[in-house]
Amino acid sequence: MAAAICSTSLQQCAPNWFLKVEPISDSQSRCQIGLSRWASSSSSSLFSERCISSQRTAPIVSTRKSGVRCQNGAGVGVVEKVLEKDPSTELLFTTVMKFGGSSVASAERMQEVANVILSFPLERPIIVLSAMGKTTNNLLKAGEAAVSCGAGKACLISELTSIDKLHRETCQKLGLDESVVDELLEELQSLITGIAMIKELTLRTRDYLVSFGERLSTRIFAAFLNKMGVKARQYDAFEIGFITTDDFANADILDETYEQVGRALLGDYVKDPAIPIVTGFLGKGIKTGRITTMGRGGSDLTATALGRACKLREIQVWKDVDGVLTCDPNIHNGAIPVKELTFDEAAELSYFGAQVLHPQSMRPAREADIPVRVKNSYNIKAPGTVIKKTRDLSEAQLTSIVLKKSVTMLDIVSLRMLGQYGFLGKVFSVFAENGISVDVVATSEVSISLTLDPAKLWERELIEQELQRLQDELSGIAMVNLVQNRSIISLIGNYQCFSHILEKAFSVMRKKGINAQMISQGASKANVSLVVDDTEAVDLVKSLHKVFFNC
C-alpha cells in the first residue's frame, strides 16, 4: 500500500521532489514531508509555517485525487510540495548571525546575545560564535609561556588560569553545570603540559590550541539556549565539512565546504529542528585532517561561508560598534557609521587593515550575492552597515579611511640584467618563495616600489632575517632600498570621484607639509593608497577625516 501512495504522489510532484513513505504498521504509514507546503482552508500560512519549522513527519490520513493528506499537530493538510532528496535549503534557515569575541565576552553578554536572537522571532538563524573576549590571545600567550616554563609549572600559567576561571564562572552565572566545559578544559590543561614538555609550539599545534576558545564558547551558549527552552545544537565546524587548505594559522576555505556544510546542517535540522551554534574561525585541513584556523578574525569568514552554504537571505555580523565606520574609532573618535558599502569597498577596507572585517570574508558573500549586515550587539537599534553588490554612487565620494601602520617599504631598481617581464617575474617569485605577500605596488619599466605584508601570522612583525634574505636574493638583479616605519593610508570610495578625492587629500597634505612616498590604486578601483611616514600618519588621518566627513 505504501508503495502505491508513493508512486501516486511522485507523479503529482515535480521530478526533483520526493515523498518518502514508510510503512509503520499494516494500517499506518508515515510520510516524511520535510520542507513541504501545506494547504489548509482555514489558516494556510500559519499551517505551513508551523509545518516547516517544527513538524517533519506526519501520518498520512488519506490519498485522494486531490492529493496526499497528512496530519500534524495543527490539523490535516494536503501535501502540496514535498522535499527534494537532498534537503532543499529553501526557508529552513533565513540568516546567519555571527557574534564576535566582544559580543560574547561574559555571561551577561551571552544573555544579551540570546536576547538579540530571540528579538527576531521570524528569523530561523544559524549562529556563529567567536571565542569569549580575549580568550584567543590568552590561549596564544599560554602556549608561548608553556614553551619556556617547564612542565612542572605549566598549570600555573596565568593565562591558562584566567581561561579556566572565565569559562567556569560563565557556566555558574548562566546556571549551567560546569560539566559543559570540564572535558575541554582538562584537555586544554593536558595540551599546555604537553607543549611545556616538548618545548615546542608548531603552527599546527597552535591551531589546535586556539580552537579551544570557540569550542568552549559555543558549548556554553548552546547549553544556555537549551536551558532557556530554545532548542539549540552545538557544532564544531571541523566536524561538519569546513574544509580548508593546510596553511595552519592562515587557512583558506575550499569550495567543497559549501555543499558538505549545507547538507550537514540542513539534514540535521530536517530530522530534529534546533538552532545550530557553530564555532567560528575553525576548519579541517584537506590533507592533514587536522584542525586549522583561518587567520585572526576568521569567524566573519565562517559566517559568510555558512551564508553561501545554506543560501541564506542575509548574513549578519554583530560587533561592538555601530557598523563599519568612516575610520578606526581608536584612531579618531569622530568616526561615524557608513550606511552602505559594496563588496569591493568592504574587501579593500578589510584587506588594508580595518579590523572590523576579516579580509577574505567578503568572498563567499560576493560569490553568492548575499548581503552582509554589520550590526552592534551593544546597540541593537542602530541600523548598522549593509554590504552588497551595488549601491547608489551618485552622492557617494569617500566611504572610509583606513590606516595600516609599521609597514616596510621596498624600492627595487633593476640592474637591467633581465628584460622587463623577466624582472617583474623574478622579483615576485622571490616574494612567493619567502611566503611574503605584497600590499601596495607601484611599478615602472625598471623599478618597483612596494609595501610588504609579512604574510602576517598572528601579527608577527616581519623579522630581520627574513628581510635580509629577501634583500640578498634580489641583489643579483636589482638595487634594493629598504625603508621601515611607514604607514599606508587607504582612501576607500567611489572611484569615479577619485580625482576630486585626491585633490582634497593632497591639499590637506600640502598644508601639513607631508609628501606621499608612494601612491597606488587597487585593481578593484575602490581604493587609492598613499604611503607616508608613521610619525605623520595618525594626525593626517584625523585631518583627512575632518575635511571629508566634517567631524
Ligand X SMILES: N[C@@H](CC(=O)OP(=O)(O)O)C(=O)O
The CB-of-79 to ligand X minimum distance in angstroms stands at 42
Which has the closest alpha carbon to 372: 353, 349, 394?
A: 349
Short-list 152, 72, 67, 135, CA closest to 101: 135
Q: How far is the CB of 493 from ligand X (least distance, A)?
A: 25
What is the rounded end-to-end Cα distance, in angstroms, of the chain?
Answer: 75
Beta strands in 330-376 (DSSP E): 340-342, 372-376
Question: How far apart, in Å, are the Cα atoms of 48 and each of 37, 59, 170?
Answer: 5, 16, 39
Task: Tell me the site size for ligand X, rule CB under 6 A.
Answer: 12
The contact pattern for ligand X, residues 403-432, with x = CB under 6 A and - = no contact, is ------------------------------
CB of 9 to ligand ADP, least distance (A): 47
Of 409, 482, 490, the closest CA to residue 451 belongs to 409
Residue 131 touches which of ligand X, ligand ADP, none (CB < 5 to 8 A by kind)?
ligand X
Residue nearest to ligand ADP (CB): 100
For ligand X, the closer CB: 123 or 300:
300
x-marked contacts with ligand ADP along 283-322 as a string, rule CB under 6 A: --------------x---------------------xxx-
CA distance 326 to 541: 11
CA dist 150 and 152 (Å) reads: 6
> Total number of residues binding ligand ADP (CB under 6 A)?
19
Q: Is 131 in the site for ligand X (CB under 6 A)?
A: yes
- In angstroms, the CA 403 to CA 356 distance is 13
Helical segments of 228-361, H only: 256-271, 299-309, 343-351
Binding partner of 296, given ligand X, ligand ADP, none, CB within 5-8 angstroms per partner class? ligand X
- Residue 96's contacts (CB-CB under 8 Å, 6 or more residues apart) are 125, 126, 127, 128, 303, 304, 306, 307, 310, 312, 315, 316
List 53, 161, 172, 355, residue binding ligand ADP (CB under 6 A): 355
Q: Which residue do the cell numbers 635580509 mark?
A: 468
Under the binding rule (CB under 6 A), the answer on residue 136 touching ligand X is yes
Query: Does residue number 130 form part of the binding site for ligand X (CB under 6 A)?
Result: yes
Amino acid identity at 297:
G
Candidate list 31, 142, 180, 324; residue touching ligand ADP; CB under 6 A: 324
Q: Which of 214, 247, 328, 348 binds ligand ADP (CB under 6 A)?
A: 328
- Sole binder of ligand ADP in the list 127, 220, 222, 356 (CB under 6 A): 356
Q: From CA 348, how far away is CA 196, in angstroms rounded? A: 40
Residues 163-222 that bind ligand X (CB under 6 A): 213
Q: Could you say whether residue 299 binds ligand X (CB under 6 A)?
A: yes
- Interacting residue with ligand X among 17, 212, 221, 281 (CB under 6 A): 281
Quick check: 359 binds ligand X (CB under 6 A)? no
Under rule CB under 6 A, which residues in 400-459 are in contact with ligand ADP?
400
DSSP state of 151: G
Q: Which is nearer to ligand X, 269 or 281 (CB)?
A: 281
| Cα distance between residue 381 and residue 507, in whole Å | 38
**Helices H / strands E in the chain, number of each:** 15, 23
Rg (CA), the chain: 27
3-state SS class at 59:
strand
- Choose the contact partner of 213 out of ligand ADP, ligand X, none; CB within 5 to 8 A by kind: ligand X
- Alpha-carbon distance of 46 to 68, in angstroms, equals 19
Note whether 364 binds ligand X by CB under 6 A: no
Rounded-to-integer distance, Cα 118 and Cα 285, Å: 35
Q: Work out whether 242 is an interface residue with ligand X (CB under 6 A).
A: no
Is 67 one of the binding residues for ligand ADP (CB under 6 A)?
A: no
Q: Which of 146, 237 has the CB closer to ligand ADP?
A: 237
112 binds ligand ADP (CB under 6 A): no
Q: How far is the CB of 315 from ligand ADP (least distance, A)?
A: 13
Residues in touch with ligand ADP (CB under 6 A): 100-103, 130, 297, 319-321, 324-325, 327-330, 354-356, 400
Binding site for ligand X (CB under 6 A): 100-101, 130-131, 136, 213, 280-281, 296-299
